[in-house]
Amino acid sequence: MPDSTQRFVSRLTRNTLALILAGGRGSRLQDLTKWRSKPAVPFGGKFRIVDFPLSNCINSGIRRIGVLTQYKSHSLILHIQKGWGFLRGEFGEFVELWPAQQRVTETSWYAGTADAVFQNLDIIRAHNPDYVLILAGDHVYKMDYGAMIAQHVEMGADMTVGCLEVDLAKAREFGVMSVDLDNRVRHFAEKPDQPDSIPGREGVALASMGIYVFNRGFLYEQLIRDSDMPGSSRDFGKDIIPGVIEKYRVMAYPFRDVRSGEQAYWRDVGTVDAFWQANLELIGVTPPLNLYDASWPIWTYQEQLPPAKFVFDDEERRGMAVDSMVSGGCIISGAVVRHSLLFSNVRVNSYSYVQDSVILPDVDVGRNCRIHNAVIDRGCRIPEGMQIGLDPDRDRANGFFVTEAEVTLVTPEMLKQEPSYVR
């Protein structure tokens, strides 16, 4: 990411209101989202997924942020209240939590992404922004939104769409922008069988990231029009974008690394496999996502915990972690951890072995356990001698969820521990 001298912090970013859509369930994450929304899922050893778009806003100079919540939002709300209350309202800075308003009918929830914003138009109008930045709250990436807003203004756009440059095979999983040589959007197709290539770059397509910049008045106009349209699914990708391409100036903004000019890091951690892989990517010597970049910090709420501790140095009982990330409050007591990521307050007891696994906070691994290729949810107490991830059939018989890539997900409920609770 650019250093502080390169960031586009100006009147444009100060007069921008960011809206983070954080109400999604994330059903493909299975039981990881049984008691929390997808943006509230822990990631990277100490963060929540929502911390990434929030940090991007702060680092981009955008300090007026609304977080739109809906599905099982308590965990998310607690996290934001604890970790994101440092902005000063008297200076016009805030991170506001916007629960589902139910302004259309008193019994209905948000019908889609556009409806979520439409039902908060009165709040948006009260803040009176020049530009509205709409963000998905469930992706992991680092991005300077200031540069995107600057291009939006420079090009005289009504709407700008943040895009990934992906190969055609992968593009079939996204909404695809067909553009001209000036990156003006001429056509939009949702998950097309035959995506259009970027002009002059055969085999590469522009896929929507779910990031949009709108001129204030244009956004109001289009949301009201969409709300009056029978049969609309009330979605930006399915309804708003296709409805404005022909008559208005809609631009694509390719998301590239400012140093290399190549496609920047972006991950949709929407499946258990993707979540597991993205976390383990962080362990590498030069990971694609650099969490150690002081010029672009990821802010979060973190408990005040003691440092990680590794105890016992006997030949058969040595507490150690190799090629791993271990968070504060962890105790590795005569156990071995290899190529794994441990969140805070994890205890791994003697003679146990953990490899290629993501262990969420407050997990206790009993003695003589073996855990491979697993995601262990918060609060699990792994019984002494249990094996996880070595035999998929045995894992399924134990009531665990096993992915297509044979990554095993374990939650307290699967272990018949603890009643359901917010986490």
Neighbours of 393 (CB within 10 A): 8
Q: Which part of the chain is CATH 3.90.550.10?
A: 11-281
Residue 102 pLDDT > 80: no
Over residues 25-48, mean pLDDT? 93
Q: Indicate the residue type of 290.
A: N
Over residues 353-373, mean pLDDT? 98
Q: What is the pLDDT of residues 365-420, one digit of tens each?
A: 999 999 999 999 999 999 999 999 999 999 999 999 999 999 999 999 999 997 66
Asked whether 216 and 150 are in contact (CB, 8 A), the reply is no
In this structure, what are the phi and psi dihedrals at residue 239, rounded to the nearest 5 degrees? -125, -55
Q: What is the pLDDT of residues 143-195, one digit of tens each?
A: 999 999 999 999 999 999 999 999 999 999 899 999 999 999 999 998 999 99
Residue 8 pLDDT > 60: no
Share of the chain above pLDDT 70, in %: 96
Mean pLDDT taken over the chain? 92
CATH code for residues 309-410: 2.160.10.10
| CB proximity list for 154: less than 8 A, separation 6 or greater | none
Q: What is the DSSP string of 125-148?
A: HHH--SEEEEEESSEEE---HHHH
In this structure, what are the phi and psi dihedrals at residue 139, rounded to the nearest 5 degrees? -120, 150
Neighbours of 71 (CB within 10 A): 20
In this structure, what are the phi and psi dihedrals at residue 21, rounded to the nearest 5 degrees? -80, 105
d(CA 232, CA 239) in angstroms, rounded, equals 7
User: pTM of the prediction?
Assistant: 0.94
pLDDT band with cut points at 50, 70 and 90 for residue 2 = very low
Long-range contacts of 342-348 (CB under 8 A, 24+ apart): 342/45, 342/308, 343/42, 343/45, 343/46, 343/378, 344/45, 344/46, 344/302, 344/303, 344/305, 345/303, 345/305
Over residues 302-311, mean pLDDT? 95
Asked whether 18 and 127 are in contact (CB, 8 A), the reply is no
More reliable by pLDDT, 374 or 237: 374
In this structure, what are the phi and psi dihedrals at residue 15, rounded to the nearest 5 degrees? -100, 20
pLDDT at 142: 96
Which of these, 417, 412, 325, 420, lies nearest to 376 by C-alpha position?
412
d(CA 320, CA 317) in angstroms, rounded, equals 9
Q: Which part of the chain is CATH 2.160.10.10?
A: 309-410
Rg of the chain on CA atoms, in Å: 23
- Longest Cα separation, the chain: 73
CATH code for residues 11-281: 3.90.550.10
Asked whether 346 and 327 are in contact (CB, 8 A), the reply is yes
pLDDT at 5: 42
pLDDT band with cut points at 50, 70 and 90 for residue 87 = confident
Q: HSE (CB half, 13 Å, CA atoms) of 301?
A: 16
